[in-house]
Structure 1
Amino acid sequence: MKLDIERVVFIGRTFEEYCDMFQLCDEDIQNKKILDCPAGACSFTAVANAKGGDVTACDVVYQFDGEALYEKGLQDVIHTMEHMEKAKDNYIWNYFSSVEDLRKHRLEALQVCGTDMKHNQEKYVYATLPNLPFQDEEFDIVLSAHFLFMYGDRFDYKFHVDTITELLRVAKQEIRIFPCIDLKGERYEFLDELIGNLRNNGCEVEEVQVPYEFQKNGNTMLQIKKGC
């Protein structure tokens, strides 16, 4: 299938970033069945599974050929680093020491993910949110990074509600969403309304500070635990 270059972005974070963004420990990875959605070019699935975990990655981009995605990912890293040079002040350079250091991490994630897609294709599932091809409560934990809330200007509140409802459907225990801000670095404008609705539906919801902040103000995740 031909890639739509303008619409598809294939870039990802490393396993270590995921552990910090989502406050994941070895016990979570060893004992929980985890879904990463949308996963993009993140290396979390590959590394966690190599450590004995049971992680599935899910994304709309997985409809495309793995080789084409990898080549696209290389282009996206170059483009993103050019943007970073112009927008350095929007980021905190503690986790990464420089744009070059960031580039190395993004390429590492892409390479690990690309290799794993070749050998463990069944772990990379195509899906278009807000619909997922999984059974009810198929996963213990569902992770969702850099998608919901980030694009509040592109996806309306209903889309966010529908997507979170679907993520909760396939989760047995909880979902974790990172970060709680939009692309401007501002807290998602409907977050309090969303939290209130989730609590009214029996969920336990907490905005948790995490040991990861790259984009300014992006240092909290939303942890949503299902009611009994």
Structure 2
Amino acid sequence: MLFNRSKDSVFYQTLVDAAGNIVEAMQLFRQNVETLEHKDEYAEKLKDLENKGDEYTHILLKELNQTFVTPMDREDILQLAVKLDDVLDGVEACASRFVYCHVNETTPYLMQFAEILEKSAEYLQEAFIALEKRDFSSIRSIVVEINLLENQGDRLMRESVGSLFEDPKDPIEVIKWKELYEKLEGVTDTAEDLADVLESVVMKYA
């Protein structure tokens, strides 16, 4: 049976906390790309949040190993934990690239990606709060919104990469920006993957 309240609080609270950690990371990322003037500081802050995310993952894995009856299938909890970690790893990797690739000026495309990622993170947090409440209809609606955001990310990636070849000058710069835009689009894909896992949980237990 899904949701034994006496045993489930650690799982659900940790998932919500991990999602909240991602919201904070995406907010910092958006602030970072507004100017990129303090990209080193933001990269360090995002690394700290990534480490915190690893701690949440460790808590979930520890609870899985120590709990005989889990609130949902162990495979589902594991998938949620892994995908949460992947989203955070992806945005932290992008912030690190700004530093070691010497990205010193932002672009409208970076800002649009940051806004998409921040909205996706906020929806994911709402979804995990809804999961604990068994509000499955809200999760379904949220999944649709995240899918729409991922579609926006796809279009933005094609537009941003295409712009690099309209009047290419420095091939190194083209390669650098192409990788960044594709990496950012990959983070939107990962957020959608996480939403898909949530949707599969809903289909299984609703």
Tell me, yes or no, whether TM beats 0.5: no
Higher helix share: 2
Larger radius of gyration, structure 1 or 2?
2
Relative contact order, higher structure (CA 8 A, sep 6+): 2
Higher strand share: 1
